[in-house]
Amino acid sequence: MSHNSFGQLFKFTTWGESHGPAIGCVVDGTPPGIELSEKDIQPFMDARRPGTSRFVTQRNEPDKVQILSGVFEGKTTGTPISLLIENKDQRSKDYSEIKDRYRPGHADFTYDAKYGHRDYRGGGRSSARETANRVAAGAIARKVLGNDVSIRGCVIQIGTSMIDGDNWDWDEVPKNPFWCPDAKAAKDWETYLDETRKSGNSVGAIIEVQAKGVPAGWGAPVYGKLDSDIANGLMSINAAKGVEIGTGFASAVLTGVENADEMRLENGSPKFLSNNSGGILGGISNGDVIIARMAIKPTSSILTPVKSINSKGEELEVRTKGRHDPCVGIRAVPVAEAMIACVLADHKLRHRGQTGR
C-alpha cells in the first residue's frame, strides 16, 4: 500500500503537517556508496521554498534539511535516509477562524468526509508544504541517476499567457521569479501576476519538465509504465489537474502520419526525427528526451469571498486570509522535476534488477 509512499525500489515515504513541529521523509532503496550531504539537497530546497519573491507565499521557512540516517562518512550506506525539515513560521492563529469552514477547492471538506477529524491548521497534511519532502527526495534521486541524466522544468503558461516557443531559452529560467524560459513572457507575467494578486484572485499554470540522457529501455510494460508512473507522480502534486506526455492532448488532433516519430541512424545509432512520443513508447524510454507537462489549477486560497458551508451544516462565505501564492504553479516546478527524478531513479533500479543492465 502506498497512501503516503511513492516508488518501488527507490521509494520515499513522507509525513508531517503544515503546522506541526516538522515534516520529513524516509528515502529507502538508495544504492550504497553515493556521495551525499545536506549540501546536495539544500539548493533544490531553496529553489522551492516560500518567501523568495512577491509572487509566492510570504511564509518564511528556511527549509533547512537534516539528514538523520543512511549516510556515513559522506556516503550513502544503502539503508533508509531519514530527512527532517522543521516548521519555523507556522502562525497557527491565522487559521483558527476557518477551523470549521470548508474552503472551496481545498481538501477541508473531503478530509472531514474521509476521516471525521483533521488538523485544519494551514491545510494540515494536504498543504503544499508536504512537497518540500518531494524536492528533498528528488535531490537524492538525481544523485542515483548520476550526471548522465539531467532534469529541468519550467513554466510555459500562466493563466491565459503562454510563452512563445521560439523564445525558449533554458538559461532564462533562473533569471526570473517564474521559472520562465521566455524573457519576454516573464516580463508580461510580472504585471499579470501583480494584478491578479492585488485583485484578491489567482491563476493556474502549465509546467513542462524535460529529462535528457535517459537510455532506451527503462520502464515496464502495461502497469509499471514509465509514463503511467510519471502521470501518477505528477498528478499527486497539490493542485495538479492534468498530465500529458510528449505531444499529449494535442496528439488527439494529429493523424498517424503526422504523429509518427520516424527513425534514422546517426553514426550508427538510432535517432528519432521528431519527438511526439515524449521519449516513451509502450511504457519504455526510447532514448529521446522525456517530456511531461502538467496543469496546475489556480490557487484555491483567495481573498475574494466565495460561497461555502461549514462542518455544522451552515451556509456561509469563505475568504482565505493568510499568506498564499497567487499562482501555485510557479513553486510546483521544482516539485515536478523532483517527481520525475524519483520515477526515473526507481525505474533505473527496476530495470537493472530485472535485466542486470
Nearer to its own copies, 9 or 333 (CB): 9
223 touching its own copies, by CB under 8 A: yes
Residues β-bridged to residue 5: 13
41 touching its own copies, by CB under 8 A: no
Contacts of residue 178, defined as CB under 8 A and 6 or more positions apart, other chains included, come to 55, 155, 158, 186, 189, 193, 330
48 touching its own copies, by CB under 8 A: no
340 touching its own copies, by CB under 8 A: no
* Pairwise CA distance, residues 38 & 304, whole Å: 40
Using a 10 angstrom Cβ sphere, with 0-12 exposed, 13-18 middle and 19 or more buried, the burial of residue 178 is buried
CB of 35 closer than 8 Å to CB of 15: no
328-355 and 226-235 helices cross at what angle (nearest 10)? Answer: 150
Nearer to its own copies, 30 or 57 (CB): 30
61 touching its own copies, by CB under 8 A: no
302 touching its own copies, by CB under 8 A: yes
Q: How far is CA 181 from the centre of its chain?
A: 18
**Residue list 316-335, contact with its own copies (CB under 8 A):** 329
**Residue list 255-284, contact with its own copies (CB under 8 A):** 255-265, 268, 270, 273, 276-278, 280-284
CB of 17 closer than 8 Å to CB of 119: yes
Residue from 52, 167, 251, 275 in contact with its own copies (CB under 8 A): 251
Amino acid at 245: I
Minimum distance of its own copies from residue 87's CB (angstroms): 10
148 touching its own copies, by CB under 8 A: no
2 touching its own copies, by CB under 8 A: yes
282 C-beta neighbours (distance < 10 Å), count? 13
Nearest to 202 by CA among 71, 91, 296: 296
**Residue list 5-24, contact with its own copies (CB under 8 A):** 5-6, 8-9, 11, 13-17, 20-24
Using a 10 angstrom Cβ sphere, with 0-12 exposed, 13-18 middle and 19 or more buried, the burial of residue 65 is buried
* Pairwise CA distance, residues 100 & 113, whole Å: 13
**Residue list 79-138, contact with its own copies (CB under 8 A):** 79-82, 102, 104-107, 109-111, 113-119, 124-126, 130
Residue from 152, 297, 319, 323 in contact with its own copies (CB under 8 A): 297
**Residue list 149-168, contact with its own copies (CB under 8 A):** 157, 159-160
Residue from 39, 166, 171, 252 in contact with its own copies (CB under 8 A): 252
Nearer to its own copies, 171 or 221 (CB): 221
Residue from 236, 275, 289, 323 in contact with its own copies (CB under 8 A): 236
113: cell is: 468526509
Nearest to 285 by CA among 356, 224, 214: 214
Secondary structure of residue 295 in the 3-state scheme: strand
Minimum distance of its own copies from residue 38's CB (angstroms): 13
Nearer to its own copies, 85 or 173 (CB): 85
182 touching its own copies, by CB under 8 A: no
Nearer to its own copies, 90 or 285 (CB): 285
